[in-house]
Structure 1
Amino acid sequence: MCARYLGFVLLIWFAGVTHAQNAKACKAPVLNGGYFVPEEDIYGHDAELTYACDSGLKPVAEGWWATSKCENGKWVDKPQCIDENACLPPTIPHGKYNKAQKGWYKEQSSILVQCDNGYVLEDNRRSTCRNGTWTSLPVCERRKDSCSEPPKISHAVIIHRYQEVFSADSEVKYECEEGYTQKGNNIIVCEHGQWSAGPTCNESSADQGHPASDEDVQPEGGDRRESGAGSGKQPEGGGMGTGHHDPAVSGGQPTGGGRETTGHQGASSSTSDSNNRDSRPMLMNVRFCGARPNIENAAVVEEGPMYLKYQCKSYYKLAGPDTVNCYSDGSWSELPTCEEAFCVVDPARYAGYGLAVTQSEYMREGQEKYFSCTAGDKFIYVRCTNRRLTLGRCCDGYELQLYEYCRRFREPN
């Protein structure tokens, strides 16, 4: 009886294993214009095959043969044969360009390269696929005024995704580990290839008492002194009910707070400090003000206990403070707006200038771009400045070497 039961369990187990293996297996790929080995109907998980293409074609990989692997029922680097004059996606360090949906580019296709922040193109931005290779691929050189990664500070982290290079005028923000107090400016700026001075994070003294709650935290650089200690009185205009602690209002506002400060930071006179607190609402945890302000074409990219930081969507620029604070009267500080920062390349308007565009295209403020011309294999240089387009002249490959000639702009009426 036991043997029969054990055999039944093993049968079920083997069936499950077989089903799992079949789910990860791959059917033989369909390869038009080529052949592969080994030829099988079904390939197991992790199985590999090698393929090559007929005359006039080539694999979607470097070389005249390529490999593909079966992983979880799908072919990784799926076998495919393309025209030998087509081009594979080029590798351009620190640059990006328009990606081909098929994973490769037809002959005469062009790519327009844009460098990452902190890098700049030293030559032509556009490259064309000809006879299976790219003509004069652009090179992104590091800008002389860019900065390397920000310096490491003990007991602190940077509130920003990691980058090896930062462009000029970039800002990053440090935040100290819990139990440590910041001293100095916690925002540093990339200036002329160097970072400005950063803060230090010092261990908090034991006599500072228990850690403050979110509602009691004051903005960076704020003063933690309490007025009327032991008296139980609340400052006038504080807007707080009885039984709540009486945190002092900081002497300064965070960047973009939008409120003018009249107090003297570091003043020893408690009377002056009290008057300053009475002249404006206290800063509160952002939860106190309820729903976040809805700013058209903007999104919250950073949130702290006492602030919200906004960033405009692509093709828009920020006007006003990027940081918003919550006040004890339930109101928000000055809100930013997002202004249009783009140009529209309208086919109807610019056809007379030789642009071969069939539908409206958008360019960001300050963006420079090459467009194809209607006259043969030529390109025209276009720039968006102050929401207006300026256009160069239609130039062929030889004339593009005469860079200044092709960039003699003319502004449409």
Structure 2
Amino acid sequence: MSIRYLGLVLLIWFPAPLYGQSATQSCSAPRLDGGFFAPKQETYSHGTKLTYTCNDGRKPTVKGWWVTSTCQNGGWSHEPQCIDEQACIPLDIPNGKYKKSPKGWYDNKQSIYIKCDKGYESKNRDATAICSNGTWTSVPVCEKSIETCGEPPKIPHAVIIHQEYQELFAADSEVQYECEDGYSVEGGGTKDSITCMSGNWTEGSTCRARPGPVNGGSAGGGTGGRPTTSTGSGTSHIVEVKNCGQRPVVSNGDIVGDNKMFLKYQCAAWYKRVGPERVMCYSNGMWSEVPICKATFCSVDTDTYPALLSVGVQIIKDGETGKLRCVDQDHWLTDHYSAVRCTNGKVNLSRCCGAIEWLFC
């Protein structure tokens, strides 16, 4: 027998599984305790649906008193199962998640802790749901946090970098942007960042067009390709920072970048930078504009407000409302509070009201 005929015989003799299985597989009939299903078959082809229901005192593991399950490549889209009617099926929590039960349902009186997604918080700080006789009680709601920011504002001639697009950003999130070719931010760099604070984005530096060559000269009119700037008494070149002597001190800020050609400043927590991020040295020994660090909070000294109970100095973030207890001289039966609002560094106090209505005084 020639090799060609031997190969033909081997192809005919070996079973098909050696050359690849079918793309789909059938399903065996499910074992359903405490219920019944239809149609009743020993096997079900891929894509076949069956419907099942449960006997009195029991219910399916998904919503509804009758349920459909589909055969998908040898398995069911969900395993037909009947559980005690006092147990609870899984919850659907928009913008939140919780630890899933390995058995697929939750016993009566069992509780679960809901963790809201980033940028969301539990309404009324209620984060626990309890299974009670087959239904969930006190189901938490994950709502957008008042400190969350939407998408960053569009910055002309710039693009956000190192960050995939998303609609919500949690408080204190920082995104960096980069100017397009031919543009730069204050200080000569091409990158800057903005931060989400109390529901709003901080203001970043503008991307401005760099000066072009004039009469065949170098960019900016300087020499050696370095930019120049006017200081009011002629034109000065930007030189190495060591030529300007003592470095500028920024209250509530620190130098975080010690480059040969510039200093980079960053404000402390709870402070916002106003002005350029980078400071450079001019050839006339003068520094370029220095930023300031502006407070993003209010400091409330309760000892200076006779209506407030003395508890020392309290800090409230800008744009937020704090709750401070009042002396309650005329309200000895219940505690009273003042709503203290911080707006652009200024404090506004409401009159003293009861513990429930204090925010609306």
Q: TM-score, normalised by structure 2?
A: 0.51
Counterparts in 2 of 1:252 and 1:111: CA distance versus 1, 3 Å:
same
CA-atom RMSD, angstroms? Answer: 4.5
Note the C-alpha offset of 1:143: 2.6
Q: Secondary structure at the match of 2:76?
A: strand
Measured after TM superposition, the shift of residue 17 of structure 1 is: 11
Higher mean C-alpha displacement, 84-93 vs 22-31: 22-31
Match of 1:186 among 183, 192, 198: 192
CA distance in 2, matches of 1:191, 1:35: 57
Cα distance, 1:88 vs. partner?
1.4
- Offset of residue 105 of structure 1: 0.6
**2:126 match: secondary structure:** coil
CA distance in 2, matches of 1:124, 1:134: 14
Q: Within the alignment, does 1:156 sit opposite 2:159 as a pair?
A: yes
The 2-side partners of 1:39 and 1:8 are apart by 42
Match of 1:132 in 2: 134
In structure 2, what residue type is equivalent to 1:25?
A: S
- In structure 2, list runs of 5 or more residues that go unmatched: 220-237, 241-258, 268-277, 288-354, 357-361
| Residue pairs, 1:6-405, within 5 angstroms | 15=16, 20-21=21-22, 24-116=25-117, 117-122=119-124, 124-153=126-155, 155-168=158-171, 170-176=172-178, 179=181, 182-183=184-185, 186-199=192-205, 249-253=260-264, 265-269=279-283
CA-to-partner distance for each residue in 1:290-348, whole Å, 9 max, x for gaps?
xxxxxxxxxxxxxxxxxxxxxxxxxxxxxxxxxxxxxxxxxxxxxxxxxxxxxxxxxxx
CA change 1:272–1:128 in 2 (3 A) is same
Q: Percent identity?
A: 37
Q: CA deviation at 1:107?
A: 0.6
Question: Counterpart of 1:106 in 2: which secondary structure?
Answer: coil
Once residues 250 and 25 of structure 1 are traced to their aligned partners in structure 2, the CA distance between those partners, rounded to angstroms, is 72
Distance in 2 separating the partners of 1:71 and 1:203: 59
Q: Which one-letter code corresponds to 1:188 in the other structure?
A: I
Distance of 1:35 and 1:125 partners within structure 2:
37
- Could you tell me whether the CA contact under 8 Å between 1:45 and 1:71 is conserved in 2? yes
| Alignment partners' CA distance in 1, 2:53 and 2:19 | 32
Amino acid at match of 1:266: M
Residues 105 and 21 of structure 1: CA distance in aligned 2, closer, same or farther (over 3 Å): same
Counterparts of 2:107 and 2:183 in 1: how far apart (Å)? Answer: 59
In the superposition, relative to structure 1, how do residues 146 and 268 fare at CA in structure 2: closer, same or farther (>3 Å)? Answer: same
Matched residue type, 2:115: Q
Residues 46 and 172 from structure 1, CA distance in 2 versus in 1: closer, same or farther, beyond 3 angstroms? farther
Q: 1:205 to 1:268 in 2, by over 3 A?
A: closer
**SS of structure 2 residue aligned to 1:165:** coil
Asked whether the 8 Å contact 2:95–2:120 carries over to 1, the reply is no
State the Cα deviation string for residues 93-138 of structure 1 (Å, max 9, x = none).
Answer: 2233332222211111011223333424215332211111011212
Identify unmatched segments of 5+ residues in structure 1: 210-224, 228-247, 257-263, 274-402, 405-413
Q: 1:20 to 1:180 in 2, by over 3 A?
A: farther
Structure 2 counterpart SS, 1:122: helix
Question: How far has the Cα of 1:86 moved from its partner?
Answer: 1.0
Match of 2:245 in 1: none
Q: Are the equivalent residues in 1 in contact too, given 2:127–2:140 (CA < 8 A)?
A: yes
Query: Partner letter of residue 105 of structure 2?
Result: W
Structure richer in helix, relative to its length: 1
Q: Distance in 2 between matches of 1:96 and 1:78?
A: 23
Q: Which residue of 2 aligns with 1:347?
A: none
Pair 137,71 (structure 1): closer, same or farther in 2 beyond 3 Å: same
Q: Are residues 18 and 200 of structure 1, via their aligned partners in 2, closer, same or farther at CA, if it must alter by over 3 Å?
A: farther
Which amino acid in the other structure matches residue 43 of structure 1? Answer: Y
* SS of 2:281 mapped into structure 1: coil
Cα 1:136–1:186 change in 2 (3 A) is same
Letter in 2 for 1:92: I
Once residues 196 and 114 of structure 1 are traced to their aligned partners in structure 2, the CA distance between those partners, rounded to angstroms, is 28
CA distance in 2, matches of 1:204, 1:38: 75
Provide the residue aligned with 2:272 in structure 1.
none
- Determine the C-alpha separation between the residues in 1 that align with 2:210 and 2:43: 66
Residue 152 of structure 1 deviates from its aligned partner by 3.7
| Structure 1 residues 108 and 120: CA distance shift in structure 2, 3 A | closer
Pairs aligned (count): 234
Q: Is the 8 A contact 2:88 2:134 kept in 1?
A: yes
Q: Which has the larger radius of gyration?
A: 2
* AA at the equivalent of 1:265: V
3-state SS in 1 of match to 2:282:
coil
C-alpha offsets along residues 45-83 of structure 1, whole Å, 9 cap, x if unaligned? 222222212221111111011122222322222212111
Pair 119,181 (structure 1): closer, same or farther in 2 beyond 3 Å:
farther
Q: Is the 8 A contact 1:85 1:107 kept in 2?
A: yes
Contact (CA 8 Å) 1:58, 1:81: kept in 2 or not? yes
Q: What displacement does 1:200 show?
A: 5.3
TM-score, with structure 1 as normaliser: 0.45
Change (3 A) 1:271 1:203: closer
Q: In structure 1, how many angstroms separate the alpha carbons of the residues matched to 2:19 and 2:64?
A: 37
